[in-house]
Chains A and B, each alone.
Chain A
Amino acid sequence: MSRSYGRYALLRAAQAVVVILLAYIGTFLVISVLPGDPITNMLRDPQNGLTDDEIQQIVAHYGLDKPVVIQLILSLGRFVTGDLGFSLQSNLPVSQLLGDALPSTLTLAGTALLLSVAIAVVIAYGVQYLPSRWARGVLRSVPSLFLSVPNFVVGLILIEIFAFRLHAFTTIDPDSAAATLFAALTLAIPVSAPLAEVLIANLDHESRQEYALVARSRGLSQARLFARHLVKPSMLPAVAMIALIVGELLGGAVITETIFGRDGLGTVVQKAVTSQDVPVLQAVVSLAAVVFVTVNLLADLASPLLDPRLDAKSERDAKSERKVVVPV
């Protein structure tokens, strides 16, 4: 396995780099080729108080007077060397802006990830083992409810109930532990739904297997059977979903941070969109692509190790045929 695995790993890593570069180019084209010229509009906006000299400098730095292809090559060259440019809005280096915002978003997204896994496991466990058939049925439809509620509605309801009525946290101090927890919950609820659906489908499948019957006949309690035998095989498809979830978390952060008034990457995006701050937008999207592709790569590389039955080749085939649709 090791040799073919090494080759598989290398190939996947190379593929990941290509996708990141293409994502950068794609974003660049979307921002600069589509109608409307955000940079020039923004520069010419009298409110910025930029002198003609300063405008000339910025135009020269970004090569805005040159053809798009040259601009793209310049921009790509800077990206590869780690230079993300300067924010048009604040004149700060983009890397500094993102660096300042990152810890807040990582805390939020990390907490949300843990919460969503916890919620999904609780739902999946309940669907299998709740004593009442009626309760199991209700619980089974919870993921589809979670998928139907917009992120911002969840946030507003949580704020309304827990901040305004129960005073469990205040929106004035969005970085407090309690406020972070509720913001993370807002982000976690829609994300937990597809995870729960996959877990439910796989637990349904695994608990019908003969080894589960054998284990039960040996007198294993349901909780033990669940923890010892069923969780591991059911988690594998969930691990493959982790990259999709990370993407959801990054996208959802834009709204969650806006609602809870947190200063994070989402707020940076929001400000950059309103002020047409192109270098910041470009950097955030590229960063998101890097994170997404890296997590995806790690999940792909981990799968054959988690399940020895998947050798590198069949894993590759399975992945390319994998449907995005959540199983019924």
Chain B
Amino acid sequence: MTSLTGLVAPTERIRAAGRSAVRVPPTVAIAAVVIIIVLLWSLVPWLFTSYDPSVGDTAEKLMAPSGAHWFGTDHLGRDVFARVVHGTASSVTSALVAVSIGLVVGSIIGLASGFLRGAVDVVLGRVVDVLLAIPSFLLAVVIVSSLGFQTINAAIATGVSAIAIFARLMRAEVLRARGSVFVEASYLQGGNRLHALLGHILPNTYKSVIALAVLQFGTSILVIASLAFLGYGDPPPASDWGLLVASGKSYATAPWLIYAPALVIVITVLSVNRISTWLRRTQ
């Protein structure tokens, strides 16, 4: 393929480049399949496992992964795969809640800063500075300790700690778009500020913000897992991914209790990041 590109006419090459831009690379396709499976786990977990996540057979405790128990069993004989699959809903939903908070609040702040400028920009700019000044994980820990140890609060805390990064990106994108020729042209044609905002500026910002949102979805899964790992989420028998790793670490003879949920976290986040990178590159 590469050896041929030098031979074809320039126009052909341009056309080929145009086509390949829409083509989905195989790694992205695999990542998409992973995400779909994870979403299905969270929506219809019972389709993927016949085991009950909270009831185990103590005669079968701490068994290594096998055909019957793909991820092995824990100290109560519960099927680890079932626990991972049934824990997905909580892990994924809380990551979605976190991203939504960051995306909505951050975008509004960034939009107001970049579009209105002036005093609004100065005040909101300091708010963002302050949010950035506190290490995001520490901020999440403080917020969750103030709200109470529940998974939903961990999600809110994670979302709040992500507001600043969305606000900064949105502000930069709005500034870039509002300085462009087509916005100026819109004003010259008699368009008002609201029209310029909704018709020209927003449509030119959402792509990079969406790419960031996808990236933040992965980051949020990690942060929420970390909070759950420290015990700041719902207590057992909830089976959030981070909590599974935390409870698995007391059994040194059964490393699959750590590795299985850890692997699920890593593969999910890796897939999310791959899709985010692809989105950013194809803009």
Contact = CB atoms under 8 A, between A and B. Distances in A.
A273 B226 contact: no
B15 interface: no
Given A148-B270, A324-B165, A20 B133 contact: yes
Q: Give chain B's interface residue range (CB within 8 Å of chain A).
A: 35 or more
B282 to A, nearest CB: 10
Given A254-B230, A328-B281, A292 B135 contact: yes
Contacts of A269: 138, 141
Nearest to A266: B138
Interface of B: prevailing SS: helix
A269 B232 CA distance: 13
B131 to A, nearest CB: 8
Contacts of B274: 144
| A35, A248, A273, A321, most chain B CB atoms within 10 A | A273
A254 B141 contact: yes
A231 B22 CA distance: 36
Interface stretch (B62-70, B79-87, B144-152): B144-152
Contact of A325 (B147, B169, B218): B169
A211 interface: no
A188 interface: no
Interface in B196-231: 208, 211-212, 215, 218, 222, 225-226, 229-230
Interface of B: 125-127, 129-139, 141-143, 145-148, 165, 168-169, 172, 175, 208, 211-212, 215, 218, 222, 225-226, 229-230, 232, 242, 245-246, 249, 252, 255, 258, 262, 265-266, 269-270, 273-274, 277, 280-281
7 contacts: A152-B246, A247-B135, A254-B230, A270-B230, A273-B145, A281-B145, A325-B212
Contacts, number: 151
Query: Chain A: interface secondary structure?
Result: helix
Interface stretch (A23-31, A173-181, A198-206): A23-31
Given A145-B270, A250-B135, A150 B146 contact: no
Contacts of B138: 250-251, 254, 269, 284-285, 288
A328 B283 CA distance: 12
A34 B153 CA distance: 12
Contacts of B208: 325
Interface of A: 15, 18-20, 22-23, 26-27, 30-31, 34-36, 38, 144-145, 147-153, 156-157, 160, 164, 247-248, 250-252, 254-255, 258, 269-270, 273, 276, 281, 284-285, 288-289, 292-293, 296, 320-325, 328
